[in-house]
Amino acid sequence: MLGQPLPVLMYHHVSPQPGLVTCSPENFRAQMEWLAKNGWRTLSTAAFAESLASGVLPKKSVLITFDDGYLDNWVYAHPVLQEFGLRATVFLITGWVGNGPVRPHVGQAGVPAVPNHKKAMTDAGAGRFDDAFLRWSEVEMMLAAGTVDFHSHTHTHTRWDRIIADPSARDAALTDDLNASRASLASRLGEATSHLCWPQGYFDDRYRQVALATGFTHLYTTEHGVVRSGCEPARLPRIVAKDKGGHWFGRRMGIYGHPLLSALYLAVKNR
């Protein structure tokens, strides 16, 4: 018998600057409005983990996740989440989070310009993080507002498999990276996270062993699928959120939230 599915949605940017992995503010608002008006519950990561542990996944529930920690998550996504009383999770690249005062978000004067995805990545490669990524002050504001939980996307977003050939040295570098991320979150937010999202979705068995040994229990992938009872916490699938309006989003959520329809649809999609 098919169990109740729980979709984990994957976003990156909510921005008026079109580009890769970007949802427009208009479409993001329409999607969040659909969830609110149709009685869907957006889970905290703690509630999500508790549901997995109990084996009872609640109907019409979803985990909304954002990768990387872009400034536009504060400027454009946070006000919408706050408007509808919803919650999301942001996986931070902790070494890329800056210091400084809180910048304005939509609804306030002087909203900052945000770069598109290509420019954000170019700036990150040059060590220029502040124009594209969150500051700790903004992280703390969202956490206090109850709109966002924050967890790890590593400290440096490095694909160690691409730059270190020796397996033992690679494991050591990954261990240091994950420990730095957990320590940074614990220092800034008061708690060392057990939730990790893999950079670029890459992992292998050694990566997973290192992450589990470092203290992570819930590992989020880019594998396409819904979470069901019995799903392995160390290999959680997600669904890419597309830049589409509320009607399209509602139809997809109707599929992903239905035990049989989600199984049939994903079987076709994942062939």
**Contacts for 211 with CB less than 8 Å, ≥ 6 apart:** 174, 178, 196, 203, 219, 234
Mean pLDDT computed over 71-98: 98
Average pLDDT, the chain: 97
pLDDT tens digits, one per residue of 256-269: 999 999 999 999 98
**Cross-strand pairs, 140:** none
pLDDT in tens, 6-28: 999 999 999 999 999 999 999 99
* Amino acid letter, 177: D
pLDDT at position 195 over 80? yes
pLDDT of residue 12: 98
Cα–Cα distance measured from residue 42 to residue 63, given in angstroms and rounded to the nearest whole number: 6
Domain boundary assignment for the chain: 8-269
CA distance 30 to 41: 16
The C-alpha atoms of residue 16 and residue 226 are separated, in whole angstroms, by 29
Per-residue pLDDT tens over the stretch 120-144: 999 999 999 999 999 999 999 999 9
DSSP string covering 26-92: HHHHHHHHHHHHTT-EEPPHHHHHHHHHHT-PPTTEEEEEEEE-BHHIIIIIHHHHHHHT--EEEEE
pLDDT of residue 270: 84
pLDDT at 1: 61
**Residue 36 in this model has a pLDDT that exceeds 70:** yes
> Residue 69 corresponds to which tokens in the numbers above?
């920690």
What pLDDT, in 10s, does the model give residues 207-258? 999 999 999 999 999 999 999 999 999 999 999 999 999 999 999 999 999 9
Strand, coil or helix: 123: helix
Q: Is CATH 3.20.20.370 what the domain over 8-269 is classified as, yes or no?
A: yes
Which amino acid, one-letter code, is at 185? Answer: L
Confidence of residue 271 (pLDDT cuts 50, 70, 90): confident
